[in-house]
Structure 1
Amino acid sequence: MLATVLRWLLLASITGAIVGTGVSLFLLVLIFLSEHTAHISLWTQMALLPLAGILNGLLLHYGYREPGSYARDSVISAIHLRLGAMSHKTILIKPVAALITLTLGGSAGKEGPCSHIGGTLASWFGKLVRLDPEMQKRIVACGVSAGFASVFGTPLAGAIYGIEMLVIGRVRHDFIFPAVIAAITAFEVGKYWGLTYDHFPVNISSDFSSSLAIRITLIGILCGLVSWLFIELLDRIRYAFVALQRRFKIWQPLMPFIGGLVLAALILVIPVDYLGLSLPLMEDALHGKDVVFWGFVWKSLLVAITLGSGFYGGIVTPQFVIGAMAGSAFASLLGVSPALGAAVGMVAVVAAASNTPIAAVLMGFELFGSSAGPYFATACVTAYIVVGHRSVYSGQLLGYSKSLWVRSTPDAPLEPGKIHISYSLLRRLGYFRSNRWRK
């Protein structure tokens, strides 16, 4: 056991240092480019969105020449299907595509390319030291955890997120130690390279309030429904673009270009604040400022069009923005502090949309402090259940159902026909009702 600890302490530390450096380089380039495109006119933005689309389309199309390889080049599929093997030849394609998306106005996140960088660098390191297949999978999971920790400045939440996102309802305990070591190392390396992280302390009474807990539970339910809406928008818009491409036999690289045209038309009625990362909207909500009540709908729509049409970008940062805005809006209806509502909504949407309730609770502690810890846990678990068996990650597997009324085969993919409702309880209820009726 001591040898196991020492081995993973060495391997995970090296992985964290490599990933932390790679992710820091990407984030510093993103910050530099964003500063030079932050203040542009509406008409310039409308012209840049289709340009970003065609550049994304061409880069992804010619970068992944093998049909279907773009979809398979993900850390989740690498761990589940390819024993932790990721192509090193394509390591720059997704980060460059994400830089184009985010700096030219696409509505997406920055953690996707960082997890890709982390997983690919970790896979490279694992092959370099000739790890066996099982250890290779673990080292790739460590790279993903390190990537998330470097982006958000939440090493514990990042460590758990990288392994909890793999399978719904199950966390591999043998992954936890190396993931934590890699995440903490990457976080410290990021700070060494000059990255800074924002935290938003939420101060409330240390005395537990059952009344507040009930209202927070209601916010959790509503955030679960918001997550459902976001996932459904993303899936349906992606399906619509695929159907359009097949129906009219449109050249694949033109699909993001069409998505850019749609985005350009929408920003005539939707503020440009919802493009890009939209972090100022999230920060306003977390500081208790007034937000547009339906702002989370506009952000969900723009993200769904951006990613659904074929742009590349992350999916977690949008969850932060959507959750913070939704939580703030619902808090104003339920008599809860807008800042607390925004914090609760942010972690609850992450818990639901990504199916990572444990990581989301830890994120609440790391970003907002421990005083609201019980409320974070309540909202996250509630939203996680309410969203059902759906996810923003198509490669996720279902380890354990969230309900005794839902059945699936072990480690089933989230696909139609793999998950079904058990009607035995409903039949029993019907039987009892019919007996009462006869009596």
Structure 2
Amino acid sequence: MKLRLLRLIKYFTSNRLTRRVIESVAIGILAGCLAALFFYCLKAADTFVIYLVGGTLSPSPLGEPPLFNVISKPQSLWLKILLPAFGGLASGFLVYLFAPEAEGHGTDAMIKAFHQEDGNIRSRVPIIKGLATIFILATGGSAGREGPIIQMGAGVGSLIARILRLSVRIKRQLLLAGAAAGIGAIFKAPLGGAITAIEIIYKEDFEAEALIPSVISSVSSYAVFSAFFGHATIFGLPITPSFYDLREFAFYLLLSIASALAGILFIRVFKRTRRIFHQLPIYPPLKPALGGLLVGLLGIFVPQILGTGWGEIQIALMGKYGALLLVTIALAKILATSFTVGSGGSGGIFGPSLFIGGMLGGGIGLFGHHYFPAIVQQPEAYILVGMASFFAGIANAPIGALVMVMEMTGAYGLVAPFMLVSIFAILFTQKWSIYDSQLRSRFDSPSHREDLVRDILSEITTAQLWNELQVAPEPIPASTLIKDIPTAFRKSTVPYLLVKKSSDIDGIIESDDYVGVAGIEETNVILATDVASPIPQVKQSDSLRSVLRAMMIRGVNHALVISSAEEKPRIITSEQIESAAERHR
């Protein structure tokens, strides 16, 4: 029995795909537990702030009912203004003292870790990020909760990869798997979380290698999170949205244009605000406090922009707001989020982007329904489509955005408008991105330089380098004693010796290899053929990629190129292949 168990363990641990599955499940379970803990702490902090200083509990979407009951108390005007400033101050000190990289929105930090930091995230960063975001959101700051949970999940993936001493390539994959787990759990969107995680790191590409780990970890984390907080979609819908009339495409096209313009405005305002706060000559922890003060002032006039605002989306879906108010709320949310996160406050961008897009879409839907009721029959549908299109535009992530919103709302009948509006939004905003660390494609990422070289080498043959290659030197007999090899090296003009057995060259002794056997005593017994490595023999029509692969398999830096025109064979080196790749970049 014990032998069978050992064989089973050996089978599973020796299979690469099986190892990735086990690692991904572990990441998903841990990330799901962290997401549940973060969500519970955030709800508890919301309740505690109201109990301590007064006010009313923020509205919640139907799929996220309040976890605690609290009696509303009167709250002074000054307290409403100052409370976000207090949250910003606490967040600022926490980040500044313990983890400065936790400043701002966490998704960009995860993208930067993938591209520039070999998939490494300091273990303390997700913890500090989570606490700082709770301070921001519980006091009314305008941000999203996905920033910390993405960093938490990515941190779990990075930590597991470091503990298991996995390669940098695998560490990057597990980093994305962790990010997917965080998104899939906190938004109850397992497939959307997986796709978004591998999509947002590029503008025009996605990380295909990380898809399977991301799906597995996201599903695992979703299962854990839902065990605590239920499986219901986050937003409840008063109707079953569907697409009725082809003429409605005109209004959805109008929505895509409006989403693109609002997205560009958001990106410009956000980055300009961040630059202004960065240049302010004041103590860094005071900057989020100043941003919070501005949010508090704005919240006096437009209270819907305080906090995550997801309950306000639910109210809009129930038809409680007019078109003009919805557009006003969307524009105010752009300012509030820029003040909160742009000042250095901790929080996410994804949540506010859904809010802005949803309110904007709702305004356009109500406008169309008012003037063309026969065409626009469900204005609520425009809120959902606006949510997906706005985030797709600012993040260059059309597929992940539409799948996320469908899973969060259950609006699968709107798949055609989702696709149309998201793609058009991307067309209008492709030169813009809310994420500074986002790159155009895999070939622009340091993590995929090997892929770029591989593709280049596939297009070059040895025939193209034939004139640069050195004619193969005269080989030594296979029966040459090892004690005579130093003399052969001294006579040679190249750092290797070819070994000839019968009539063919079948081996090579490179100078580095010879050093390892030069000190042995049995110099009259060991022959050159005993220490020679097999030399790859390639044709002029072979690609440099296949030649390099043959070298790597045999552990040598040289290959013998056989001519098709009865010429003497020539030698190609790995250095020549690398130089050819550099020239053709």
Question: Do these two structures clear the TM 0.5 threshold for a shared fold by scoring above it?
Answer: yes
- The aligned residue for residue 422 of structure 1 is none
**Are the counterparts in 1 of residues 86 and 292 from structure 2 also a CA contact under 8 Å?**
yes
Q: CA 1:364–1:95 in structure 2 vs 1: closer, same or farther (change >3 Å)?
A: closer
**Counterpart AA for 2:308:** L
Offset of residue 4 of structure 1: 4.1
- The aligned residue for residue 271 of structure 2 is 235
**Are the counterparts in 2 of residues 343 and 368 from structure 1 also a CA contact under 8 Å?**
no
Gaps of 5+ in 1: 401-408, 413-439
> 53-62 or 100-109, which moves further after superposition?
53-62
- The aligned residue for residue 285 of structure 1 is 316
Residue 20 in structure 1 maps to residue 32 in structure 2: yes
**Counterpart AA for 2:41:** V
Distance 1:206 1:240 in 2: 44
Report the secondary structure of 1:76's partner residue.
helix
Q: CA 1:311–1:364 in structure 2 vs 1: closer, same or farther (change >3 Å)?
A: closer
Query: Over residues 248-292 of structure 1, what are the superposed CA-to-partner deviations in whole Å (9 max), with x where a residue is unaligned?
Result: x31212211222222233333x23221111112111222333241
**Are the counterparts in 2 of residues 273 and 281 from structure 1 also a CA contact under 8 Å?**
yes
Across the two proteins, how many residue pairs are aligned to each other? 395
- The aligned residue for residue 56 of structure 1 is 91
Residue 395 in structure 1 maps to residue 427 in structure 2: no
Offset of residue 28 of structure 1: 0.8
1:52-131 to 2 correspondences below 5 Å: 52-64=87-99, 74-131=109-166
1:29-428 to 2 correspondences below 5 Å: 29-38=41-50, 40=55, 41=75, 42-64=77-99, 74-194=109-229, 197-201=233-237, 203-204=240-241, 209-243=245-279, 245=280, 249-268=281-300, 270-291=301-322, 292=325, 293-335=327-369, 336=376, 337-366=378-407, 367-399=409-441, 410=444
Distance 1:111 1:282 in 2: 17
Report the secondary structure of 1:58's partner residue.
helix
Report the secondary structure of 1:23's partner residue.
helix
Offset of residue 390 of structure 1: 1.6
**Are the counterparts in 2 of residues 289 and 338 from structure 1 also a CA contact under 8 Å?**
no
Distance 2:320 2:440 in 1: 38
**Are the counterparts in 2 of residues 288 and 328 from structure 1 also a CA contact under 8 Å?**
no
**Counterpart AA for 1:253:** P
Q: CA 1:36–1:89 in structure 2 vs 1: closer, same or farther (change >3 Å)?
A: closer
**Counterpart AA for 1:262:** L
**Counterpart AA for 2:392:** A
**Counterpart AA for 1:186:** S
**Are the counterparts in 1 of residues 396 and 430 from structure 2 also a CA contact under 8 Å?**
no
Distance 1:22 1:204 in 2: 33
Offset of residue 205 of structure 1: 5.1
How much is the aligned-residue C-alpha RMSD, in angstroms? Answer: 2.2
Q: CA 1:205–1:102 in structure 2 vs 1: closer, same or farther (change >3 Å)?
A: closer
Q: CA 1:134–1:370 in structure 2 vs 1: closer, same or farther (change >3 Å)?
A: same
Distance 2:236 2:381 in 1: 10
Distance 2:319 2:81 in 1: 31
Report the secondary structure of 2:413's partner residue.
coil
**Are the counterparts in 2 of residues 277 and 317 from structure 1 also a CA contact under 8 Å?**
yes
Query: Over residues 300-328 of structure 1, what are the superposed CA-to-partner deviations in whole Å (9 max), with x where a residue is unaligned?
Result: 11111111111111111101111110000
Distance 1:261 1:198 in 2: 30
**Are the counterparts in 1 of residues 142 and 295 from structure 2 also a CA contact under 8 Å?**
no
**Counterpart AA for 1:288:** G
Q: CA 1:18–1:331 in structure 2 vs 1: closer, same or farther (change >3 Å)?
A: same
**Are the counterparts in 2 of residues 108 and 314 from structure 1 also a CA contact under 8 Å?**
yes
Distance 1:344 1:353 in 2: 15
Report the secondary structure of 1:37's partner residue.
helix
**Are the counterparts in 2 of residues 75 and 115 from structure 1 also a CA contact under 8 Å?**
yes
**Counterpart AA for 1:203:** T
Distance 2:445 2:160 in 1: 28
Tell me the percent identity.
26
Query: Over residues 193-234 of structure 1, what are the superposed CA-to-partner deviations in whole Å (9 max), with x where a residue is unaligned?
Result: 235542445634566x32112221221111111111111110
Report the secondary structure of 1:193's partner residue.
helix
Gaps of 5+ in 2: 1-11, 56-74, 370-375, 447-585
**Counterpart AA for 1:138:** Q
Q: TM-score, normalised by structure 1?
A: 0.85
Offset of residue 87 of structure 1: 0.5
> 123-132 or 209-218, which moves further after superposition?
209-218
**Are the counterparts in 1 of residues 123 and 159 from structure 2 also a CA contact under 8 Å?**
yes
Report the secondary structure of 1:241's partner residue.
helix
Could you say which structure has the larger radius of gyration?
2
